[in-house]
A and B are shown apart, each in its own frame.
Chain A
Amino acid sequence: MNQLAKEIGVGAKAGKNLIMIGAAAQVFGLSHEVARQVVIKRLGKRKDLLEANLLGLQTGYEWTEKNIGHALDDLHLGVRERHDEWLIVTGNQALAMGALAAGLKFFAGYPITPASDIMEFLAAELPKFGGTMVQAEDEMAALAMCMGASYSGQRAMTATSGPGMALMLELMGHASMTEVPVVVANVQRAGPSTGMPTKTAQADLWMAVYGGNDEPPRIVIAPSTVRDCFVQTVNAINMAERYQIPVVILSDQALSSRVETIEPWDLDNIPRLERVVAGPHEGKGDYLRYRITEDGISPMALPGTPGTYYTAEGLEHLESGAPNYEPAQHRVMMDKRWRKLETAYQEYRTWPDMWDRFGADDPDVGVICWGATEGAVREAVMRQNMRGRRVAAFVPKVLNPLPREELLDFAEACKAVMVPELNARAQLAKLLLSELRIESETLNKYEGLPFTPGEIEAKLDEIYRALDLEPAGEALEVMAK
């Protein structure tokens, strides 16, 4: 490139980088004319820069065509039908939009890579929706403010990354105990401690499911695509409200900043679940904030309502909220709070978009994965299907409580199950093993980078060899979900 730049007389100030853009566009089969128009649109007013940039672009195209030509046909993206109503967004933007679509009214956050742009987005947009955004002094304050606003009746969310969520765990336990709805979006990044803030990982699953003292119930939900960031954030806020429980969204760095062109959401049919709110309390006896119910959900009074005074209590308590340490009472209240997770599972399994299943109908090998790993798995499964291998994938969106019947049905139909994850200790695989007795072959990558489809396929090859399963030879009809 340096040599080409010298030959055509363009430099770092203008044109040099366009050589590489031209080359990349040619490799991917993008129209030279469209690229030219983009450059003209961006630099039309800077005549001094325009000529050099267009020259660089053209040089990149021509050099690549001449020297590489059609060797890279596999990479040609082709021309898709144009959809003007489609969207160009990142995962963090989709997540923030989902929160607004779900009626978010309060957000407090603390800057942390790679979650900060959720806060920045909401700083601009939330006031237009009648909501409030506060940049807090630390993550504990951020979550505590969200819990306070939720206690007052507002839909509230914070966003952070692993180190921030670690700081929030005590308060998350408190939200479980006091049964205050709140959403914590964790945009995961790589490494323990400060780690690699700009690199991706899926290594906070255990913290999300098990983190904190004792056993506070919470819901954990993981979007798998940029588009899904919106869908699952709507679900997360709805579930927090419906079950009066903290809900963790596990996104990741790769999803957060990736720009995708996606089909728009159906904004006229955003699902909405309401908090069960207690009306004014009349008659004798105290209002029972933590009333024992069959589904575990107790009507929640909001400040401003006459008669339903109560204290949201982090100490173990009676139905009224008054502190109580009787042995049987602790068991009754633990069971009540955990019962909400069973209620959540029985309800969400009837909703759309709570898992993805794709690939062969009658799989030999099943892939179970979560989060953004779905992308590489989808491509790998498609290629395997084209080679005649009966491979399928199941992607649960809710990781706590797991869709247990659906996962067991899927796993039992397979001769082998494989779980690829961007972590070292096989977090989902061990969750499946301990919760559902599903054994799996694990594929773990912990380099800060996402999987490539080839890595997934290489592991599948290995499994096929070990099982001595010959591919059928004929390409399977690829079954999308």
Chain B
Amino acid sequence: MVSTQVAEPKTEKRRPNDYKSNVKPIWCPGCGDYAVLASFVRALADMNLPPEQVAIASGIGCSGRFPAFARVYGYHGVHGRPVPLATGIKLGNPELTVFAFGGDGDAFSIGAGHLPHAAIRNVDITYVVLDNEIYGLTKGQPSPTTPTGHRTKASPYGKVGRQANPLMMMLSYGASFVARGNSSDPRTLTDLIIQAVRHPGFAFLQVYSPCVTFFDTYPMVKEKQTPIPDTHDPKDLYSAMRLASDPDHLYMGVFYQDDADDNYLSEMVKVSAKAGQNGYGIADLVGRYQVD
């Protein structure tokens, strides 16, 4: 039921390249997404997951192209809906290890309505948000995570409105796993992806993945990135919130993790037990509506 177990290696150990498709990425040279893809396939290889047991749903945006470049099952969805798609895939086949991939616009703007529900439903999927603080595919409009005052063609006088804080959102929604990584530190990122997959519920992973063409956040990430303090206890929600709301540091690591066994699938097993289903069929159901 739970996708976190590493499958028995039937053949020899798989390598990262075994998870790459022959479709070449079309991202700009220098795009952070290349490094995220590399960490992703590295994580799959480290877990030695059979590729046929992995499915990725993605949204629209540069990061939405992710599934085409991986040699696993993919579903390139519509804008903002990778999380409900991934939810359906997982509930349709609980054996699968299911990912959702999308960008900051996909996640925190058009798809933002799904986030609290993904958190409280707690279906065992891993949601990786590639956050470049800009709409890259549509060539540079401000997104919810774009800093206030930033000038783009769509915000010629500077972005009006505050900068969204995705980690604070997810922590307050009650997500059971909240972490942050960045494309410039692939080793940590690979480890975070593995931890997210092994988490037995909904796992949210924000990944800084800069856009060199429309908003280069490499310098900002480099200046602010800080490993999450060893003293932080990932079960301490308030400590997680303090770290997530620190304006001067971009902490990288696991902010919060709640291992409670209340993910959606284990709850549905209880529902099935309550409903009962031994030998019950359509004739039994229809028979209840007979005239007499």
Contact = CB atoms under 8 A, between A and B. Distances in A.
A478 interface: no
B84 interface: yes
A329 interface: no
Given A148-B75, A178-B75, A313-B68, A154 B92 contact: yes
Size class of the contact patch on chain A:
35 or more
B89 A152 contact: yes
B157 interface: no
Contacts of B280: 128-129
Given A309-B51, A309-B73, A87 B292 contact: no
Contact of B92 (A83, A152, A306): A152
Q: Which 3 A-B pairs have the closest CB atoms?
A: A148-B88, A152-B92, A311-B74
Nearest to B57: A148
A138 interface: yes
A134 B91 contact: yes
Main secondary structure of the interface of A (DSSP, over half): mixed
B2 interface: no
Given A148-B91, A171-B78, 10 more contacts: A106-B88, A141-B83, A141-B114, A144-B81, A144-B87, A145-B84, A152-B55, A309-B73, A311-B73, A314-B78
A124 B276 CA distance: 10
A85 B23 contact: no
A471 B88 CA distance: 59
Interface of A: 82-89, 93, 97, 100-101, 105-106, 108, 124-125, 127-130, 132, 134, 136-138, 140-142, 144-154, 156, 170-171, 174, 178, 261, 264-265, 267, 270, 286, 301-315, 321-323
A137 B114 contact: yes
Contact of A152 (B93, B117, B121): B93
Nearest to B274: A127
A313 B277 CA distance: 37
A304 B93 contact: yes
Contacts of A310: 73-74
28 contacts: A85-B290, A87-B291, A127-B275, A128-B280, A129-B280, A129-B281, A134-B91, A140-B84, A141-B81, A141-B113, A144-B88, A145-B85, A149-B88, A151-B92, A152-B89, A152-B90, A153-B92, A156-B88, A170-B78, A171-B81, A174-B77, A267-B282, A270-B282, A303-B53, A309-B51, A309-B71, A310-B73, A312-B75
Nearest to A170: B78
A137 B117 CA distance: 7
Given A149-B91, A171-B78, A87 B286 contact: yes
Contacts of A124: 275
Contacts of A156: 88, 92
Contacts of B116: 137
B155 interface: no
A230 to B, nearest CB: 9
Interface in B64-84: 65, 67-68, 71-78, 80-81, 83-84
B160 interface: no
